[in-house]
Homo-oligomer: A and B are copies of this chain.
Amino acid sequence: MTASDRPSQQPASRRIADTLRASIERGELEAGQKLPSERALAEQYGAARNTAREAIRLLAEQGLVTAKHGRGVFVREPQRLFRFGSDRYSIANRETGLTPFRLEAKKQGKVPRIDVLSITREVPPPDVAERLQVPADSESVVHRENHYFADDEPVQIVSTYLRWEEAEGTLLMQAKSGPNGIYGRLEELGHVMTRVRDEISARMPSPEEARVLDLLPGVPVLEVLHTSLDQNTEPFEVSRYVHRADQTGLLYELPVS
Q: Nearest Cβ in chain B — how far from A118, in angstroms?
A: 21
9-residue interface stretch from A83-91, A101-109, A144-152, A155-163: A83-91
Residues B222 and A254 in contact, CB atoms below 8 Å apart: no
Q: Does A250 contact B (CB under 8 A)?
A: yes
Given the known A-B contacts A220-B204, A250-B200, are A194 and B81 also in contact in the complex, defined by CB atoms under 8 Å? no
Interface digits, A60-84 against B, CB 8 Å rule (1 contact, 0 not)?
Answer: 0111000000000000000001010
Tell me the nearest residue of chain B to A193, going by C-beta.
B256
Interface size class of A (residues with CB under 8 A): 35 or more
Determine whether A27 belongs to the interface, using a CB cutoff of 8 Å to chain B. Answer: no
B83 and A199 contact, CB distance less than 8 A = yes
Q: Can you list 14 A-B pairs, Cβ within 8 angstroms, ordered by A?
A: A61-B217, A63-B203, A83-B199, A195-B255, A197-B251, A197-B252, A198-B253, A199-B249, A199-B250, A200-B200, A200-B250, A202-B220, A203-B246, A220-B245
Instruction: Give the 10 A-B CB pairs with smallest separation, nearest first.
Output: A202-B202, A220-B220, A202-B245, A200-B250, A201-B249, A254-B254, A197-B253, A198-B252, A202-B220, A252-B252
Q: Which residues from chain A sit less than 8 Å from chain B, CB to CB?
A: 61-63, 81, 83, 86, 89-92, 193-207, 217-222, 245-246, 249-257
